[in-house]
């Protein structure tokens, strides 16, 4: 794979000062070949005159013409074609052959194993657009696009503006509103379409033909949520959605949850539910739908000038997506889901050595910016905006946002522009808030010191800050229930007397963003209190306190298992089961005493037996029963359909059972191949890879490793499934030898793949189950390696920190 230069911020600033882009005309031929496509781009732009470059990542360059004069195609150097522009209007024409990709970036082409049909979609985010068309690839050089597509006659093409087809196989899209390059997309193939309309906006849904029935079944819910969200965003912002049609395309092998391309949002197609799912899964989809709709204003109408402000996109959409979902859809419990699904993502990321400020993260180049597309930019930033909204109130908060959208409509802006709009709307001076909360990394640690009678607030030593917090505290005296009070913490020590034996939970309702942990007295009391706690959000706060404490070796694996046993019986939120059980099984059980897995398994079986048949709570408990089972005979009975009333062994559950049998060594390659052949869907293909890699055999681990090194090329979902399947607790006799192989082979993977999936593979194949000091010492050597790709390094830094923390738990609480 060719090495491309990542755009430096200084280069982007110089190019933006030099150029104004008037329009793009992009012509793509998707019909001629299955491996490559022809791309012709005509760019009209004004220049002050002088040298610059256009970004291009082709298989071959056929023609480059600037202002009527041909340029030597061989001047292409690491993704850039140098240009000598003239003062005034310029025209650039680039003809090239591009490669279809299978890593979820650029123009991704996928073959559905269910029926052999081909599907294409565009993902131009960050630095992938030049692998589709020639462009000045940075967020602050916006322009309208006209796209012409030649496609097979049985394909439909959807893009950033309404598409027309004057003849079979020919499609015209646009001109669009002014777009950043990273928003440009098209979705092309024999997709199944559902169309509707709301408030003058044409609505559309699409998915692969093999998912047509599932899409039809989900269409009413999806379209209802879309209508509800449009109405609420129009009410809150007072600015209508301006991008024409609103199409939501569910596409195969998509890396992210979704991408907010104006007019044509792309989602990962497992969000079209072909098997039964929990309520939590539906809430996750609902908040994703609302999140991408929020982006149509924050991100699409007004786009950050540079990637250091990507938090403005994601934090705002995260906050608004959850708020609007909770306020106007059937999922009023969205904030409980958020507590279980997102809180720890942000808190853990903020405690890593790789932590960074929410805003002003440096982002010297596009590659560096991609590494900060994490729980800090989403979950922490969202929490801070939620706090700001609580402080300012809706009137000022939305008045500032509306002023921001109006001043910078279809343009670019910075954090300073937004905060100036808030201050102008009556927020007062926000400079201290910005400095302490947005420009300073790391969470404050807030703990109760019973002996001293104080609550202590300690900022990270390496990131000093002076943050004021106001949050609710839940207390329960011995023999009593919970009482809720408010506590302002604006100094290093806040007096707080508590009676002996009283349980104290700090910030259980996520009123602030801080690292809070229960002390030993509280942990002991929770074993009685948790089963009597009827507030789902308070229970989520209990588990977030406990998870933070475990992450910092401040609570034992034994206590966690005790709490799970105590609380599971009365839990009525499937979010609690679906979020807590995988964490317990993945992080806690490997460090717990012998017999702990059996205790957890018995607890979830009791939950299955005592839960309403057919409920999503029963489903989440049964999923946990499968994942925790060490009994091949029981798994075999379930696979044959001998399951509790209310449970159906559909495709997802069938493969979950097969994967667990593989981990236990109770199946083989022949059975797994037969299961794939019997129902060859995209989901089955990925889970087949996971199961193959999970088998406790040398051949299985080599099967996975060939995918890691790139010796065997597979699409992105299969690649990460192989990594997750490879490293299994109890298989260390097979995998320990791969620790040093990981260290040796990881750097070269940058020659086999790039972008998002390069980092994902480094993460998925990290030897996280090798809980040995020798393994830690080995992987640490990667951190001192010169020339290691930045995205790989970031994942290794985070995973080394995780391994160190797991070993710290083992040292503190020997099993």
pLDDT < 70 stretches in the chain: 1-2, 361-363
Residue 563 contacts residue 528 (beta carbons within 8 Å): no
> What's the pLDDT at 123?
97
**What is the residue whose two structure tokens read 């609103």?**
246
For residue 266, the cross-strand partners are: 249, 259
Q: Tell me if 52 sits within 8 A of 13, measured CB to CB.
A: no
Query: What is the token pair recorded at 228?
Result: 């509800």
Mention every residue, 6+ apart, whose C-beta is less than 8 A from residue 302: 404, 405, 408, 409, 411, 412, 413
What pLDDT is recorded for position 24?
Answer: 98
Kindly write down the DSSP assignment for every residue of 599-625, as one continuous string.
HHHHHHHHHHHHS-TT-HHHHHHHHHH
Which pLDDT score is estimated for 362?
Answer: 60
Fold of 191-441: Neutral Protease; domain 2 (1.10.390)
Q: Is the dihedral of CA 530, 535, 539, 544 positive or negative?
A: negative
Can you spell out the DSSP letters for 490-543? -SSEEE----TT-EEEESTT-SS--EE---HHHHHHHHHHGGG---HHHHHHHH
Among residues 102, 118, 92, the alpha carbon closest in space to that of 33 is found at 118
CA distance 75 to 354: 38
Rounded distance between C-alpha atoms, residue 70 and residue 77, angstroms: 17
Quick one: tokens of 472?
């609710």
Among candidate residues 653, 712, 717, the one with its CA nearest the CA of residue 113: 717
**pTM for this predicted structure:** 0.97
DSSP state of 358: S
Q: Which one is catalytic: 260, 292, 314, 510?
A: 292
Strand 170-173 vs strand 145-150: parallel, antiparallel, or unpaired?
antiparallel
Q: What are the tokens at 506?
A: 């700090």
Nearest to 578 by CA among 654, 525, 510, 656: 656
Q: What is the pLDDT of residue 361?
A: 60
Percent of residues, the chain, with pLDDT higher than 70: 99
**Exposure class string for 641-663: b at 16+ Cβ within 10 A, else e:** eebbeebebebbbbbbbbbbbbb
pLDDT computed for residue 602 by the predictor: 98
Collapsing DSSP to helix, strand or coil, 121 comes out as: strand
Cα–Cα dist 564/218, whole Å: 33
CB 309 within 8 A of CB 357: no
| Alpha-carbon distances, residue 693 vs 23, 517, 590, 668, 732 (angstroms) | 48, 37, 19, 11, 14
φ, ψ at 337 (rounded to 5°): -55, -45
CA–CA dist 287, 302 (Å, integer): 21
| CA-CA-CA-CA torsion sign (348, 349, 353, 355) | negative
pLDDT for position 4: 84
How many C-beta atoms lie closer than 10 Å to residue 479's C-beta? 7
The Cα 27–Cα 41 span in angstroms is: 6
Active site residue 292: yes
Tell whether omega for the bond before 9 is within 30 degrees of 0, i.e. cis: no
Residue-wise pLDDT for 155-174, tens only, equals: 999 999 999 999 999 999 99
Measure the CA–CA gap between 451 and 236, rounded to whole angstroms: 48
- Ordered by start, the domain boundaries in the chain are 1-190, 191-441, 670-815
CA distance 313 to 405: 13
Grouping H, G, I as helix, E, B as strand and the rest as coil, residue 378 is helix
The encoded tokens of residue 489 equal 């913490």
Residue range 394-423, pLDDT digits in tens: 999 999 999 999 999 999 999 999 999 999
Closest to 739 measured CA to CA, from 710, 704, 769: 769
Beta-bridge partner residues of 27: 40, 148
Q: State the CATH class of domain 1-190.
A: mainly beta
Buried b (16+ CB within 10 A) or exposed e, 702-726: ebbbebbbbeeebbbbbbbbbbbbb
- Strands 493-495, 156-159: pairing kind: unpaired
Helix pair 682-694, 698-709: axis angle to 10 deg? 120
Give the Cα separation of 626 and 607 in Å (integer).
Answer: 13
CA distance 658 to 663: 9
**pLDDT tens for residues 680-738?**
999 999 999 999 999 999 999 999 999 999 999 999 999 999 999 999 999 999 999 99
Between CA 526 and CA 478 the distance in angstroms is 11
Using one digit for the tens of pLDDT, what is the confidence trace for 500-543?
999 999 999 999 999 999 999 999 999 999 999 999 999 999 99
């Amino acid at each position: 794979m060719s090495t491309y230069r990542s755009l430096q911020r200084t280069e982007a600033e110089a190019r933006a000062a030099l150029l104004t882009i008037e329009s793009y005309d992009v012509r793509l031929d998707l019909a001629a070949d299955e491996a490559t496509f022809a791309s012709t781009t005509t760019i009209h732009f004004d220049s002050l005159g002088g040298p610059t470059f256009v970004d291009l990542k082709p298989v071959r360059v056929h023609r480059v013409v600037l202002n009527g004069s041909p340029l030597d195609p061989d001047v292409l150097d690491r993704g850039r074609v140098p240009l000598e522009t003239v003062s005034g209007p310029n025209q650039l024409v680039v003809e090239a052959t591009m490669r279809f990709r299978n890593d979820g970036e650029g123009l991704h082409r996928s073959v559905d194993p269910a029926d052999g049909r081909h599907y294409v979609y565009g993902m131009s985010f960050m630095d992938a657009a030049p692998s589709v068309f020639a462009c000045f690839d940075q967020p602050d050089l916006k322009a309208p696009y006209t796209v012409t597509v030649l496609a097979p006659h049985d394909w439909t093409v959807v893009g950033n503006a309404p598409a027309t087809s004057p003849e079979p196989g020919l499609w015209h899209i646009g001109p669009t509103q002014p777009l950043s390059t990273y928003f440009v997309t098209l979705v092309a193939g024999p997709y199944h379409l559902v169309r509707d309309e709301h408030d003058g906006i044409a609505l559309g849904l699409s998915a692969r033909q093999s998912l047509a029935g599932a899409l039809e079944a989900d269409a009413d819910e999806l379209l209802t949520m879309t209508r509800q969200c449009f109405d609420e965003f129009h009410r809150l912002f007072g600015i209508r959605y301006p991008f024409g049609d609103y199409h939501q395309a569910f596409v195969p092998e998509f890396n992210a949850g979704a991408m907010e391309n104006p007019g044509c949002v792309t989602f990962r197609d497992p969000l079209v539910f072909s098997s039964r799912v929990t309520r939590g899964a539906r809430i996750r989809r609902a908040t994703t739908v609302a999140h991408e709709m929020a982006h149509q204003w924050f991100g699409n109408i007004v786009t950050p000038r540079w990637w250091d402000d990507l938090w403005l996109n994601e934090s705002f959409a995260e906050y608004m997506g959850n708020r609007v979902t909770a306020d106007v859809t059937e999922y009023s419990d969205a904030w409980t889901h958020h507590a279980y699904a997102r809180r720890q993502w942000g808190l853990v990321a903020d405690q890593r050595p790789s932590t960074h400020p929410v805003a002003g993260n440096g982002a010297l180049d596009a590659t560096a910016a991609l590494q900060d597309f994490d729980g800090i930019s989403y979950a922490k930033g969202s929490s801070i905006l939620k706090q700001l909204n609580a402080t300012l109130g809706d009137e000022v908060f939305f008045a500032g946002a509306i002023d921001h959208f109006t001043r910078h409509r279809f343009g670019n802006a910075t954090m300073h522009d937004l905060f100036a709009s808030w201050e102008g709307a009556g927020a007062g001076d926000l400079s201290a808030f910005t400095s302490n909360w947005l420009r300073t990394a790391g969470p404050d640690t807030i703990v109760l010191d019973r002996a001293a009678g104080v609550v202590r607030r300690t900022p990270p030593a390496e990131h000093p800050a002076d943050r004021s917090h106001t949050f609710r505290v839940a207390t329960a005296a011995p023999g009593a229930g919970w009482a809720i009070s408010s506590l302002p913490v604006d100094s290093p020590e806040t007096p707080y007397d508590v009676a002996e034996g009283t349980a104290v939970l700090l910030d259980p309702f996520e009123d602030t963003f801080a690292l809070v942990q229960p002390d030993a007295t509280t942990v002991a009391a929770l074993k009685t209190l948790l089963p009597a706690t009827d507030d789902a959000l308070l229970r989520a706060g209990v588990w977030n306190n406990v998870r933070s404490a475990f992450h910092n070796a401040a609570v034992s694996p034994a206590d966690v298992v005790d709490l799970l046993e105590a609380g599971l019986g009365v839990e009525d939120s499937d979010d609690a089961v679906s979020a807590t059980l995988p964490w317990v099984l993945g992080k806690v059980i490997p460090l717990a005493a012998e017999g702990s897995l059996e205790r957890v398994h018995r607890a979830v079986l009791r939950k299955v037996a005592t839960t309403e048949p057919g409920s999503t709570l029963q489903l989440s408990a049964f999923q946990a029963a499968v994942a925790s089972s060490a009994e091949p005979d029981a798994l075999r009975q379930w696979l044959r359909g001998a399951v509790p009333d209310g449970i159906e062994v559909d495709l997802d559950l069938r493969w979950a059972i097969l994967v667990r049998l593989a981990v236990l060594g109770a199946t083989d390659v022949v059975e797994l191949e037969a299961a794939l052949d019997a129902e060859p869907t995209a989901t089955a293909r990925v889970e087949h890879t996971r199961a193959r890699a999970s088998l406790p055999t040398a051949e299985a681990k080599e099967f996975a490793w060939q995918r890691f090194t790139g010796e065997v090329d597979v699409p992105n979902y299969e690649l990460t499934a192989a990594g997750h399947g490879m490293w299994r607790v109890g298989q260390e006799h097979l995998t320990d030898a791969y620790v040093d192989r990981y260290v040796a082979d990881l750097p070269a993977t940058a020659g086999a793949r790039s972008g998002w999936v390069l980092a994902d593979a480094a993460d998925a194949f990290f030897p996280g189950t090798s809980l040995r000091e020798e393994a830690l010492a080995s992987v640490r050597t990667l951190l001192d390696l010169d020339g290691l790709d930045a995205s790989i390094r970031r994942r290794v830094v985070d995973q080394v920190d995780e391994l160190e923390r797991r070993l710290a738990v083992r040292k503190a609480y020997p099993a």
